[in-house]
């Protein structure tokens, strides 16, 4: 066996570690979700004349399926996922079209967003969020230099996003449409897009979104009721006024687990869209701060992992981490804002906490991908450290993200080699 083969074998034997902070915050959010779904859904179950813990049982089952999906993705190489990115984009379009197929698509509360799989209903857009992020991360890796240099490279992902948004608006789903556009804009910026060019699509898109928002009477009603819910507390402002009463009743420390009054058939969707209001009532200001802190930790850690991956030239991993971080932070921000009366009512769940089969499963899957990113990043850092130690280079004073010197290449002690400097210089949106 040659020296190169033996070295490759030694490197392959090195394993990474999953990020403990991500594991901890994911488990914490899952536990909060189980407790609060059990607490908030009792009144809903009684009104529907089913078992008191009917929704908790379903939530636990969906969480178990999500954990299986997360465990599988945690053991799947990211390069394998990247190889199927084009197929995943096609799946996004197929899923959004499938909701309009008679017998397969299902309408709930006037919106045709669900696929009927017999044993459960599946909201197609939840899978679209993850699949689209994977495709966009792959695209940004492949065309990172063109993204900042040409209009066509920048407009292509925007065009794909517009197609997906068009299909979502046909359902209709304005909340998810806005989320997809925000994720696209955020990933393009983090991918190194030329900012002056980015202003053009933004200046065009914002008025279009505003027109779409006011084109439907029910959206205008939501906006006006959000501005003054108490003007019609028993009709258009019913959801928000009850949510605000729950938040106000919780005060600093809450009324205690299970003691919420608003969840007893007063607050609509208490176990899904307005579950944070129940948390605020039962655990008060302190409980809401803890939940917000968990999401801040999740998003912050994901952004940090993405930055470290990009510094090591692992661009696909980095952009996937950025995309998932944007997804979780934006969706949780909107859900929390709706519950606190800071934003108009939107049908976006609180990730990992709200009840909902497709949301829970795909959020677990996304966290599984994020944990895989952390595993491969740690493994790459360990491999670099091994190569550096075998090359006899000092382990201190040199960035861990730097690539080791290739055999036969001697670096100048002061300036180094230009080729090496180019390889190890951290830079967003630029490949080696």
Does any domain span residue 390? no
How large is the C-alpha radius of gyration of the chain?
24
pLDDT at 420: 33
pLDDT band at 396; cut points 50, 70, 90: very low
Secondary structure percentages of the chain, helix, strand, coil, to 5: 65, 5, 30
Provide mean pLDDT across the span 201-226: 83
CA 221, CA 44: separation in Å to the nearest integer?
A: 26
Provide mean pLDDT across the span 281-307: 97
Provide mean pLDDT across the span 410-426: 37
pLDDT at 393: 64
- pTM given for the model: 0.89
Q: Which residues pair with 123 in a beta bridge?
A: 114
- Kindly list the distances between the CA atom of residue 213 and the CA atoms of 174, 217, 219, 220, in Å, as whole numbers in the listed order: 8, 9, 6, 7
Residue 353 CB-density burial (10 A; 0-12 exposed, 13-18 middle, 19+ buried): buried
Does any domain span residue 407? no
Highest-confidence segment of 139-148, 258-267, 330-339: 330-339
Does any domain span residue 292? yes
Does any domain span residue 296? yes
CA 288, CA 186: separation in Å to the nearest integer?
A: 26
**Each residue's pLDDT tens digit, 8-27:** 666 777 888 999 999 999 99
Q: Which domain holds residue 69?
A: 15-383
- Phi–psi pair at 41, nearest 5 degrees: -95, -5
Does any domain span residue 421? no
Structure tokens at 249: 């009743």
Q: Which residues pair with 106 in a beta bridge?
A: 114
Does any domain span residue 230? yes
Mean pLDDT of the chain: 87
pLDDT at 400: 42
Structure tokens at 302: 């994901």
Q: What percent of the chain has pLDDT over 90?
A: 61
pLDDT at 216: 80
Highest-confidence segment of 194-198, 228-232, 342-346, 371-375: 371-375
pLDDT band at 410; cut points 50, 70, 90: very low
Provide mean pLDDT across the span 350-354: 95
CA 341, CA 338: separation in Å to the nearest integer?
A: 5
Instruction: Collect all residues with Cβ–Cβ distance below 8 Å to 279 and sequence separation of at least 6.
Output: 32, 36, 287, 288, 291, 353
Q: Which of 74-88, 260-274, 276-290 has the lowest mean pLDDT?
A: 260-274
CB 273 within 8 A of CB 348: yes
pLDDT at 94: 96
- Examine the pLDDT at 183 and tell me if it is beyond 80: yes
Q: What is the dihedral of CA 202, 206, 209, 213, to 10 degrees?
A: 160
- Kindly list the distances between the CA atom of residue 124 and the CA atoms of 105, 161, 355, in Å, as whole numbers in the listed order: 10, 15, 16
3-class SS of residue 356? coil
pLDDT band at 373; cut points 50, 70, 90: very high
Q: What percent of the chain has pLDDT over 70?
A: 88
**Each residue's pLDDT tens digit, 262-279:** 999 899 889 999 999 999
Provide mean pLDDT across the span 308-317: 95
**Closest to 403 (Cα-Cα) out of 375, 381, 378, 379:** 381
**Each residue's pLDDT tens digit, 355-364:** 988 999 999 9
**Closest to 315 (Cα-Cα) out of 377, 404, 408, 244:** 377
Provide mean pLDDT across the span 375-387: 91
pLDDT at 405: 43
pLDDT at 322: 98
Q: Give the count of domains, the chain.
A: 1
- Phi–psi pair at 159, nearest 5 degrees: -65, -40
Structure tokens at 228: 């003054």
Provide the b/e sequence for 266-279 (b: ≥16 CB within 10 Å): bbebbbbbbbbbbb
Kindly give the residue spans of alpha helices, DSSP state H, lying in 99-216.
124-142, 144-147, 151-169, 174-190, 195-215
Provide mean pLDDT across the span 155-160: 95
CB 347 within 8 A of CB 218: no
Structure tokens at 110: 């006037």
Does any domain span residue 155? yes
**Beta strands 105-108 and 121-123, pairing class:** unpaired
pLDDT band at 398; cut points 50, 70, 90: very low
Does any domain span residue 410? no
């Amino acid at each position: 066996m040659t020296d190169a083969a033996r070295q490759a074998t030694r490197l392959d034997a090195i394993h990474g570690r999953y990020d403990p902070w991500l594991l901890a915050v994911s488990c914490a959010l899952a536990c909060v979700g189980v407790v609060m779904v059990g607490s908030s859904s009792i009144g809903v179950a009684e009104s529907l004349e089913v078992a008191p813990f009917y929704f908790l049982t379903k939530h636990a089952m969906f969480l178990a399926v999500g954990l299986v999906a997360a465990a599988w993705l945690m053991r799947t190489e990211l390069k394998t996922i990247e190889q199927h990115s084009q197929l995943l984009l096609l799946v996004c379009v197929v899923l959004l079209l499938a909701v309009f197929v008679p017998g397969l698509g299902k309408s709930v509360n006037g919106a045709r967003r669900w696929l009927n799989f017999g044993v459960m209903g599946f909201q197609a857009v939840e899978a679209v969020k993850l699949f689209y992020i994977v495709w966009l991360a792959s695209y940004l890796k492949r065309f990172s230099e063109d993204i900042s240099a040409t209009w066509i490279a920048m407009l292509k992902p925007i065009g794909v996003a517009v197609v997906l948004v068009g299909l979502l608006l046909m359902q209709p789903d304005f909340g998810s449409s806005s989320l997809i556009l925000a994720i696209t804009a955020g990933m393009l910026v983090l991918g190194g897009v030329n900012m002056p060019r980015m202003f053009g699509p933004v200046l065009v898109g914002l008025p279009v979104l505003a027109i779409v928002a006011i084109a439907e009477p029910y959206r205008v009603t939501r906006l006006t009721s959000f501005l003054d819910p108490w003007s019609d507390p028993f009709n258009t402002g019913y959801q928000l006024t009850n949510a605000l009463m729950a938040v106000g009743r919780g005060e600093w420390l809450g009324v205690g687990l299970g003691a919420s009054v608003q969840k007893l058939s007063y607050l609509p969707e208490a176990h899904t869209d307005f579950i944070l209001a129940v948390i605020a009532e039962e655990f008060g200001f302190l409980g809401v701060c803890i939940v917000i802190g968990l999401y801040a930790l999740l998003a912050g850690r994901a952004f940090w992992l993405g930055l470290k991956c990009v510094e090591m030239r692992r661009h696909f991993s980095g952009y996937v981490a950025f995309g998932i971080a944007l997804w979780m932070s934006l969706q949780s921000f909107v859900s929390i804002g709706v519950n606190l009366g800071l934003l108009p009512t939107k049908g976006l769940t609180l990730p990992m906490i709200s009840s909902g089969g497709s949301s829970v499963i795909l959020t677990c899957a996304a966290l599984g991908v994020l944990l895989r990113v952390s595993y491969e990043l740690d493994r790459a850092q360990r491999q670099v450290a091994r190569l550096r130690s075998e090359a006899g280079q000092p382990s201190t004073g040199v960035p861990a993200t730097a690539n080791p010197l290739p055999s036969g290449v001697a670096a100048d002690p002061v300036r180094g080699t230009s080729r090496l400097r180019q390889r190890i210089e951290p830079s967003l949106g630029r490949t080696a």
